[in-house]
A and B are shown apart, each in its own frame.
Chain A
């Protein structure tokens, strides 16, 4: 675990010391800030709605979630593999898992720094005399970090599959988008087909319940929006995010290991 800490520190340093990190940060914060400001204007100063738009409901939030982790993760494995430093890391006296987890934590920390801008909006509201619901805001912040972690781990997996950083980012963006939109698409497909299927398939109700639970078990947006956003800290939701992230990290470690055989 000491190795994880060392890797984590180095990755954080390099994320915050390269122009790419700051560019991404500025772009994301700017867009999200604009959205927040527009929302604040549109709703005539509805603080809660604006904050939740900035953190969880707004399109910018999910766009950032889809695009940033892939861009961060492409540097973490694919580029290191291309420049050869991965060989250096994987022959250092730390386990593969320590390397991956260190990188994962660093990228997630970057995302946490990014979303902490929304906490600043909260502080500003407090200062202006209309304190937000801090518990809900902090809970949403925690949720945003967990969602980021999930997408970072998914992107790391994509990054471990190839040596070309751009391809890794592309794969990861597709993966994240798919992961986010698939439940929605499946729901609408289900809605279209429900009547037809109900006629033809016996015991459709049970089958549908089964499919629905399957969809729910990958539905990131729903898990985030229904639990963290209103300020409910549910351990089941924690488990949902941690399990998926853990699974992707595990697959990433395996994929690195497999690459040693293939290389």
Chain B
């Protein structure tokens, strides 16, 4: 077992949790250092909530070699752990019949805060989450977004070392989301934050480090840059040019450029032909030079950096191609073995599962490089595919909140 560093705020080693026959969390290992903001990412049923509930002391682990928060054992020193955790479940359970101020006072009392410190702390946290003017309102009368903020205030009140937030932005409108995001960003200065979400754009914005779970297993763990670098691999160049009718010749000359790993012929829009190039480094200069030499009129020449969503869908949908998998060696020291085994076993058994055919291209090479604009009048003008970054605000088009009330 790894030696526990003095700054580890959350340590989880070989965590298992079983619900009857179902293994909800399987051999999960990770650690959070003090002051980190880490995002739990995974589709529904990946084990995010279960793991958080276990850390918060609501559910017991079925098996774990080490499970500690702020240096206290979650099972044996449960009360000590709970004192140091601000846990906000997804459903934001608050007593509806209490006023906001009363709810906070009740929570503070449970944490053993005295009257004087409560009098100071309550307005402070309410102000911080921006509901100071609602303190006399009944919790039950608040809108979902406001209740979410009150929930955050409740979690923050005892000034916990660790914040565990289960889907803190679900049910919020885009503006509120933005506020909650910046709030969580500000919290990172003096709290360790573990939050979960299935909204990728969100995690991308809030969390420097990401832990990707799927079906209870850890698929990847690392900073976004590490993950993008290792999993998404090469850069992608999109080229739209007027290259005449001999597309194959153009493709060959593009493929002959140094550093180009693959060229995919995309759709043809009018007289323009689209290509997608993958390769090392920034290929735009070379491609531009080639276009000048050949006399192609360029319409687009752009570099696309992989997004977290791409990495995520690769990992979870099992789209991890052969090209990318050798590069898979998750960086953080604690999680190598688990991540590797998880990621390699994933593609085989996930491919067939649950996902619409359209999202799992049988041959990644034949997939056009992402139609963002189409002249086809029956195509409604635009479509979006997984290889493009998500539009951040407002809401991503595929609304992931369908299941939340």
Contacts and interface: CB of A to CB of B under 8 A. Distances in A.
Interface of A: 2-3, 6-7, 10, 14, 17-18, 83-88, 90-95, 260-261, 263
B94 interface: yes
Contacts of B57: 90-91
Nearest to A94: B110
Given A85-B93, A88-B93, 10 more contacts: A2-B112, A14-B95, A14-B97, A85-B94, A91-B56, A91-B82, A91-B89, A92-B110, A93-B80, A260-B59
A172 to B, nearest CB: 22
Nearest to A90: B58
Sort chain B's interface into a size bin. 20 to 34
Contacts of B95: 10, 14, 85
Interface string B49-60: 000010011111
B16 interface: no
A88 B110 CA distance: 11
Given A87-B93, A94-B110, A261 B58 contact: no
B111 A17 contact: no
B275 interface: no
A95 B77 CA distance: 11
Contacts of B135: none
A173 B80 CA distance: 38
B85 interface: yes
Point out which of A6, A7, A92 has the most chain B C-beta atoms below 10 A from its C-beta. A92
A87 B89 CA distance: 8
Given A6-B106, A263-B59, A88 B111 contact: no
A83 B91 CA distance: 8
Nearest to B20: A262
A260 B89 CA distance: 15
A83 B93 contact: yes
A92 B96 CA distance: 18
A88 B94 contact: yes
B63 interface: no
Contacts of B93: 83-88
B109 interface: yes
B58 A17 contact: no
B60 to A, nearest CB: 6
Contact of A93 (B82, B89, B96, B97): B82
A260 B79 contact: no
Point out which of A7, A10, A17, A261 has the most chain B C-beta atoms below 10 A from its C-beta. A10
A94 B83 CA distance: 9
28 contacts: A6-B109, A7-B110, A14-B97, A83-B91, A83-B93, A83-B96, A84-B93, A85-B93, A85-B95, A87-B53, A87-B91, A87-B93, A91-B56, A91-B85, A91-B89, A92-B82, A92-B107, A92-B111, A93-B79, A93-B80, A93-B82, A93-B112, A94-B79, A94-B110, A95-B79, A260-B59, A261-B60, A263-B19
B75 to A, nearest CB: 12
Contacts of B89: 84, 87-88, 91
B401 to A, nearest CB: 18
B312 interface: no
Point out which of A3, A18, A88 has the most chain B C-beta atoms below 10 A from its C-beta. A88
B35 to A, nearest CB: 23
Contacts of A95: 79
B59 A93 contact: no
Nearest to B158: A93
A14 B99 CA distance: 11
Contacts of A83: 91, 93, 96
A163 to B, nearest CB: 13
B106 A10 contact: yes
B87 interface: yes
Given A6-B109, A6-B110, A261-B60, A91 B94 contact: no
A260 B54 CA distance: 10
Contacts of A86: 93
Point out which of B93, B96, B107 has the most chain A C-beta atoms below 10 A from its C-beta. B93
Contacts of A14: 95, 97-98
A51 B60 CA distance: 52
B58 A87 contact: yes
B83 A93 contact: yes
A85 B59 CA distance: 15
A94 B111 CA distance: 8
Contacts of A93: 79-80, 82-83, 110-112
